[in-house]
Amino acid sequence: MTRRLLGLLAMVAVVAAACGAAPLSISDYAGVVEDATDAYIQESTVLSGTFQKSVEDEIASIAESGEGDLLELATDVTSRETTQYLALLEDAMARYLKVLSAVVSPDTLSDAHEAYVAALQSVRASMPATRTGVEQATDLAGIQTAITSSGFSDGQLRLQTACADLESAVRSQGHGIDLGCTPTTVSSG
């Protein structure tokens, strides 16, 4: 944990030094963006796992107790946990965006970098409305619909495309990069 924290602090120092300065070299840019992405993916993966386990454990406990309407209680648990997960994911994404927004990309990557940041901002901006839709859902199908018909869900394709485009742009400059260009998914349990 301490090693990871030191790595993140070093990354923030590189980004802070880049603010207001000349663009980073392609190699430095790839390293900073990949490190920030790795930290975000790690955090969002932990959040997702915690969310899934919480929903499963609470619903299993409700089923074992045999008390109350299982479907109604499962809906309540799923709604509450999904809402909390989306809030925590939005917070993680805000920190990721802060780092990416501070990076001064090489000129040859600026369009791809800006498109990726804009796609992330769009997904993040859709999260409050998605949470509201989940909170207002009256059943599990409603929760699923609130997610799948949201800007959060719609933004995933744009984000995945922008991410792949950024990876491709960096690779076209002769540098490897892996940003894990897969969509973040939210399951309704």
Tokens of 53: 């386990």
Tokens of 129: 């409305």
Q: What pLDDT score was predicted for residue 184?
A: 45
Q: Mean pLDDT score of the chain, rounded to an integer?
A: 86
* Type and span of the H or E element at 104: none
- Mean per-residue pLDDT, 145-159: 88
Measure the CA–CA gap between 71 and 56, rounded to whole angstroms: 13
Q: Is the pLDDT of residue 144 over 80?
A: yes
Q: Is the pLDDT of residue 109 over 90?
A: yes
For residue 96, the SS3 value is: helix
As a whole-number percent, the residues of the chain with pLDDT over 90 amount to: 70
Residue 85: pLDDT band with limits 50, 70, 90? very high
Measure the CA–CA gap between 132 and 146, rounded to whole angstroms: 9
Q: What pLDDT score was predicted for residue 183?
A: 47
| Sequence-separated (6 or more) residues with CB below 8 Å from residue 142 | 136
Exposure string for 144-155, b = 16+ CB within 10 A, e = fewer:
bebbeebbbbeb
Q: What pLDDT score was predicted for residue 182?
A: 63
pTM value? 0.80
| Sequence-separated (6 or more) residues with CB below 8 Å from residue 50 | 85
Tokens of 49: 């796992």
Q: What is the architecture of the domain spanning 2-15+25-172?
A: Up-down Bundle (1.20)
* Region at 41 (left for phi over 0; alpha for psi -120 to 50; beta for the rest): alpha
